[in-house]
A and B are shown apart, each in its own frame.
Chain A
């Protein structure tokens, strides 16, 4: 399972970066989505995929009944998902507005502020 997820992370990273190198703005945004999902999976995988119960000791018991799963990576991913969602929403509006305002057709036309 670990290997499978690792391969998936690699594929998502590759696809994301490939899409971001394209000149079409929509592809750039989809590439960003792939990238952030790849990272979420990577956090999950790097912290170890274990099946287990939540780390809460039942009342009256001295220790956990079975092996537990680490809740922290899930908390990290949850935060990362919320942030990447917010950023994505902003990026979508920004790209939409930019290509409505500027005469540019794609990203390779954006050269006015370059040096």
Chain B
């Protein structure tokens, strides 16, 4: 039994329970919430270094040998995602200290936040498809509550759309699981990968892969299935938006990466070409949606969709370098996107609005915020030497190498349009004239005190610093992504580790 694999699930669970026990005291909940996040981040980093040194690690729950019991397994991709998830958890919970209102804190913000992290880590670490479904539901359930917590009108309306479409996605997933079990007789991913190589029923496998594509496509907001995202992500408080934006769609992308490199590799001419086409369409529709909006968080929400296209593009190209590009893109994107949402929160706090034409003049009022925004936004658009440039460089380079010129051109064009809409936010919110104070309906913002300021700015500086570090010292991060991609493309060690690990 490897404790290191269980701890990223147990720590958030214990934290959530402890927070629930301290229901009456907001202060104690805050302390427990932050220390839980610190503990989780430390464990995740230890897990990453262990996996880097020792290769894939696996563990069997309840002492049932694989493939009969539930397996927990971590290869480099899982470990990277766990680290990113916990890092975002840590940053956003610090930010929450300065921005979540008392009522939400009193009604269980911290417990559900940690339950969300538990679900996310469970998805990353499990080696069993049905268990993956269960973790998905844990994650969804807490995200439902976080989205609706507070009960403001737009929140409730956004929650209805989010809940309904995600339940449909779960229904597709469960259907696919039922048929897959009937066909293969196992749901252990490593065991299924062995069976997939024998390719007994290639026709049924392709049909099944489409069911999985729809299920995970809804969760990761792929082209025709993304409508729930821009309808709900701008409604909850900013920390909730930020953690959703950073993590939840990327969980979908992670499952796509996992399933389409391990299980459905029999017919890549069909499945992966389709994924590539969807990736291109996702990029274009996402960025066009972003260009047509004038509200800070709505623009950012549409950019999530557009960026998911890039991540999935590497999977569609299906070469080791392209998958490495995808993984690098995920690393870059989670950090940058969370940070941009955090910036939008402080902008709202200073000017009392998310509408670009009511913001204006932030560069005078908050120079530090402006620096953070510039680093993140330019990185998102792919300006060298920031992290987004290298992510896009690898993907475009590889698509040129294997002569998929159309997708390369799409990626470059979308990147240009991303720059355009980031420039729109820049011109509207940061440059521009400050709006006049006597405008009707304007809420006079309260200047935050010093402690609140630290809580708001520290995570933003941390993430912006990381973006800069990844951009300027790309080598180690790219090496990490390349090795993770190598493990995905040659799953033999993963399969061996899972099937031969002793309880």
A residues apposed to B, CB below 8 Å: 20, 28, 32, 35-36, 39, 42-43, 45-48, 72-73, 76, 79-80, 83, 86-87, 90-91, 94-95, 97-98, 101-102, 104, 107, 110, 112-115
Contacts and interface: CB of A to CB of B under 8 A. Distances in A.
Contacts of B134: 79, 83
Given A76-B130, A86-B141, A113-B231, A43 B177 contact: yes
A43 B141 contact: no
A97 B130 CA distance: 32
Contact of A36 (B151, B161, B171): B171
Interface in B290-328: 293, 298, 302
Contacts of B148: 94, 97
Given A83-B137, A90-B144, A113-B235, A35 B171 contact: yes
Given A32-B167, A114-B231, A115-B289, A46 B179 contact: yes
A96 to B, nearest CB: 10
B177 A91 contact: no
A46 B158 CA distance: 36
A47 B158 contact: no
A21 to B, nearest CB: 11
B182 A46 contact: yes
Contacts of B171: 35-36, 39
B156 A115 contact: no
A98 B144 contact: no
A98 B154 CA distance: 10
A114 B157 CA distance: 9
B174 A43 contact: yes
B388 interface: no
14 contacts: A20-B168, A39-B178, A42-B178, A42-B179, A43-B177, A73-B178, A76-B130, A76-B177, A76-B181, A91-B167, A94-B163, A101-B153, A102-B156, A112-B154
Given A47-B181, A72-B181, A76-B130, A110 B137 contact: no
A95 B160 contact: yes
B294 to A, nearest CB: 12
A40 B177 CA distance: 11
B230 to A, nearest CB: 5
Interface of B: 130, 134, 137, 140-141, 144-145, 148, 151, 153-154, 156-161, 163-164, 167-168, 170-171, 174-175, 177-179, 181-183, 230-232, 234-235, 289, 293, 298, 302
The A contact surface, by secondary structure, is helix
Contacts of B179: 42, 46
Given A47-B181, A83-B137, A98 B175 contact: no
B141 A101 contact: no
A39 to B, nearest CB: 5
Contacts of A115: 230-231, 289, 293, 298, 302
Contact of B175 (A42, A87, A104, A114): A42
B137 A87 contact: yes
Listed from nearest, the 3 A-B pairs whose CB atoms lie closest are A46-B182, A43-B178, A98-B156
Nearest to A91: B163
A102 B174 contact: no
Nearest to B144: A90
Contacts of B158: 113
A12 B310 CA distance: 38
Nearest to B302: A115
A110 B157 contact: yes
A95 B234 CA distance: 20
Given A35-B171, A76-B177, A110 B161 contact: yes
Given A42-B179, A101-B151, A115-B298, A87 B167 contact: yes
Nearest to A110: B157
Given A79-B130, A115-B298, A28 B164 contact: yes
A46 to B, nearest CB: 3
